Amino acid sequence: MNSPAPEDTVHPIPPRTLTIAYTGGQERRGPITMGQANMIRCILRDDPTHINIHDVWPV
C-alpha cells in the first residue's frame, strides 16, 4: 500500500511558453532543444566571465 506524500514533497513546475524576439528568420514554435536548455542553464548558473572566455579571440 502507498502512504500519502509528505507535505514537503517537491511538486514539478508546470511548463510555460516564452516568446523571444529574434531579427531575421521566420517565426517558429516548439520545444527547446537540449543545447538551448543547457545554454540557458549555463547562463543562469555560471559566472559570465567563465561563459564569455570561449568567445573572446586574441587579435
Q: What is the pLDDT of residues 3-45, one digit of tens each?
A: 665 666 777 888 887 777 767 777 778 888 888 888 888 878 8
Output the pLDDT for position 9. Answer: 73
Q: Is residue 18 part of a domain?
A: no
CB of 56 closer than 8 Å to CB of 48: no
CA 56 to mean position of chain CA atoms: 23
Q: Is residue 14 part of a domain?
A: no
Task: Give the residue with greater pLDDT, 52 vs 42.
Answer: 42
pTM of the model: 0.35
Give the confidence band of 51 by pLDDT, cuts at 50, 70, 90.
low
Q: Is residue 57 part of a domain?
A: yes
CB of 52 closer than 8 Å to CB of 43: no
* The amino acid at 7: E
Q: Is residue 36 part of a domain?
A: yes
Q: Is residue 6 part of a domain?
A: no
Q: Is residue 10 part of a domain?
A: no
Q: How many domains does the chain fold into?
A: 1
Q: Is residue 58 part of a domain?
A: yes
Output the pLDDT for position 39. Answer: 82
Q: Is residue 3 part of a domain?
A: no
CA distances from 26 to 21, 33, 57 (A): 11, 17, 31
Q: Which domain holds residue 52?
A: 31-59
